[in-house]
Amino acid sequence: MSDELDAFLPDLRRFALSLTGCSHLADEVAQETLLRALQRNQADLAPIEKPKAWLFQIAANLCKESWRREGRRAEVEATAARDPVSPAGKTPAEIASHREHLEQVWKFVEELPDLQRQVLLLNVWERLSHAEIAARQGMSLGSVKTSLSIARRKLREHFYPGQEGKK
């Protein structure tokens, strides 16, 4: 099955390149597409009727996900640039330190498991309530609260070790 999927790699790469305009990202999208397809095949699920269309849909979704992630990053950077914490009166070193910290937080959030990251961003970035997140994600309210709590705990433990329980 792997050989059959590998035959699609050049077409997937060209498709991803046409969507992203970046050869490095196109390679990543094409490889991730095949990886997801292989993982699905290992799960012994029913065969896909139109594998090429299915693979291209996976690639398109991965490109969209990349665009959303880059869009959020650009928004965070734009917000940091006009952040009220960095007005006149702050030294360039303080401003740089603040921005570096924001970049570190963003990188850490990107590394969270998908569900925790999505729930955290929906709550913090889009300011959705737990119930709104549950409805949007198709999950229970308890799962939203648990995922959000775990994500926040991981952030606290990473950036403020030894501060658990202190307010």
CATH 1.10.10.10 residue ranges of the chain are 112-167
In CATH, what number does 112-167 get? Answer: 1.10.10.10
Burial-class residue 56 by CB neighbours within 10 Å (0-12, 13-18, 19+).
Answer: middle
pLDDT in tens, the chain (167 residues): 466 777 888 888 888 888 878 888 889 989 988 888 888 877 777 777 788 888 888 888 888 888 777 776 666 666 656 555 545 567 777 777 777 888 888 888 889 998 999 899 888 877 889 999 998 888 999 999 999 999 999 999 988 887 755 54
Nearest CA-CA partner of 7 in 57, 45, 52, 49? 52
